[in-house]
Amino acid sequence: MRHGTDSHFQISQRADYINNDLFEWVQFNRAIINTRDEPLADARKYRRLHLLHGDTNVLPTSLLLKVGTTALVLDLLEMDRLPKIVLADAVMTFRNLSHQPDGPWLVPLADGRCANAVELLFKFLEAGRNEFLGRDMETDVILRVWEEVLSALATRPEILVGKVDWITKRWLFRQFMERENINWNDPWLKAQDLEFHHVDPARNLGMALAQTPFAWDIPPSDIADAMRAAPVNTRAQARSRIMKMLKNQHIRYFVDWEVIDAEGVNSLNLLNPFDASPEEADSWARQLNLI
């Protein structure tokens, strides 16, 4: 919800606060992509694209699409298979679309033409399907859900209640306003806005309406396990193992993405994000008599 703007309800929570397409310092000028040279890994091999424009999501389907489609687009970028589409002004397009929950979702292109945003997204979907369909089950789920959501956006957006955050929130608020005979500016509705995003699933208004793809419907036990066990195929596994060793030691230590410092020894650098068991981690731990 946004007050004092062109509409009472916006698609994006962040659109009005994004000022550039690319910028180095997030503290001073929020951009779609933060280009700060901080790879948090071996700078000779890796670079990091920090995406600032994405909203926090409630519904599992929205989260699946946000992370999954971004991953597929990055895969296409690495293969040089992205559709040849250039927006005239990415920031203004982002803001203008956010203020048009009912459409028309028309965007100006760099070549002077105007195109339908959903049709442009279909071009990215088609490129992803051509390159990655059949790669693995997760990719196939992402491609299928992506197509279903884009098709519904173009014809019947209302059937995406329970799948797409902004559509679900808007439907829920309209129902609430009608039942309670209030308007968009009522403080009661602001409270409901907060409850929609509540971190407790039992209180979260959005999760009560969730329609999650079967392959993405994660059991509560698996979620609980994931809160306590790090992924086994990234450096998070090594970082977690060392943190558990250090927590009962009477020394000062510091843990960051790619480095662990402890009193009395040199820093341990975890420069490969995909190395779950770096050899140097064990030798570092032995210096502290952790193993």
**pLDDT above 70 (res 177):** yes
Q: Tens of pLDDT along 220-270?
A: 899 899 999 999 999 999 999 999 999 888 899 999 999 999 999 999 999
**pLDDT above 90 (res 56):** no
Q: Tens of pLDDT along 185-218?
A: 999 999 999 999 998 988 999 999 999 998 888 8
pTM metric for this prediction: 0.88
Which residues make beta-bridge pairs with 33? 22, 51
**pLDDT above 80 (res 272):** yes
What would the mean pLDDT of 78-92 be, rounded to a whole number?
96
